[in-house]
Chains A and B, each alone.
Chain A
Amino acid sequence: MPDKKKVLIINRRAPYGRSNARDSLDVALTCGVFEMPISILFADDGVFQLIGNHQAGDIGQKNLSANLAALPMYDIDQLFVCTESLNTHGLTFDSLEHSATQLDQTAIQQLIQDHDVVLTF
Chain B
Amino acid sequence: MALHTLNQPPGNIECLKRCLSALSEGDALLLIEDGVLASLPAYAAHYDQIKVNISLYALQADLAARGLNDLKDNRFIVVDDGGFVDLACEHDKVVSWY
Which residue numbers of A lie inside 8 Å of B, CB to CB? 12-18, 44-45, 48, 51-56, 58-59, 61, 65, 88-91, 95, 97
Contact = CB atoms under 8 A, between A and B. Distances in A.
B15 interface: no
Contacts of A56: 64-65
B5 interface: no
Instruction: From B11, B65, B68, B71, name the one whose CB has the most chain A CB atoms within 10 angstroms.
Output: B65
A45 B61 CA distance: 19
Given A45-B37, A89-B42, A90-B41, A14 B65 contact: no
A45 B65 contact: no
Interface residues on B, range: 20 to 34
B82 interface: no
A14 B9 contact: yes
A4 to B, nearest CB: 32
Given A54-B67, A58-B65, A12 B33 contact: no
Contacts of A44: 11
B83 to A, nearest CB: 14
Nearest to B42: A90
Contacts of B43: 90
Contacts of A18: 34
Contacts of B66: 14-16, 48, 51, 54
Q: Which of A18, A53, A61 has the most CB of B within 10 A?
A: A53
